[in-house]
């Protein structure tokens, strides 16, 4: 079963507060995430994942009559924004929740766990092809 684990941060100004952390705290946070990714790769559970640029760099795209319509995004009413995601291939939803809880405990300033919320959603599978 595949699940997408989406890490959210408070919107605030739309800028990452992590850029205001001390270099030591930033390095500890990144090292934690790198270890998590190595562990998930070693266990065969990591199907993909990335950190994302700040929301101020995001754009919303819709189909237009002759060209894509590109506007600034995300929507201003968002209280949180997506900072990164993992796609994991695991045996159960409970295992996906365990991984999400581990990621949520990533260290923040002073090494204190951030306890950031992670949304966990199963990746839908396509139905089998219709034979005919």
> Using one digit for the tens of pLDDT, what is the confidence trace for 77-128?
666 778 899 999 999 999 999 999 999 999 999 999 989 889 999 999 888 8
Q: Of 25-29, 45-49, 105-109, 127-131, where does mean pLDDT reach its minimum?
A: 127-131
Q: What is the pTM of this model?
A: 0.83
Do residues 100 and 118 make contact, with C-beta atoms less than 8 angstroms apart? yes
User: CA of 80: how far to CAs of 55, 75, 76, 122, in Å?
Assistant: 10, 10, 10, 21
Which residue segments constitute the domains of the chain, with CATH numbers given? 2-122 (3.30.70.1060)
């Amino acid at each position: 079963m595949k699940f997408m684990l989406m890490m959210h941060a408070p919107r605030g100004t739309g800028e990452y507060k992590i850029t205001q952390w001390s270099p030591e705290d930033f390095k500890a946070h990144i090292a934690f995430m790198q270890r998590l990714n190595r562990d998930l790769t070693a266990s065969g559970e990591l199907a993909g994942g990335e950190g994302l640029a700040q929301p101020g760099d995001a754009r919303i795209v819709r189909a237009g009559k002759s060209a894509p319509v590109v506007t600034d995004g995300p929507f201003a009413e968002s209280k949180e924004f997506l900072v990164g995601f993992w796609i994991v291939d695991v045996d159960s939803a409970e295992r996906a929740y365990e991984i999400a809880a581990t990621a949520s405990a990533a260290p923040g300033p002073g090494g204190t766990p951030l306890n950031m919320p992670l949304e966990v959603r199963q990746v839908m599978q396509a139905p089998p092809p219709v034979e005919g």
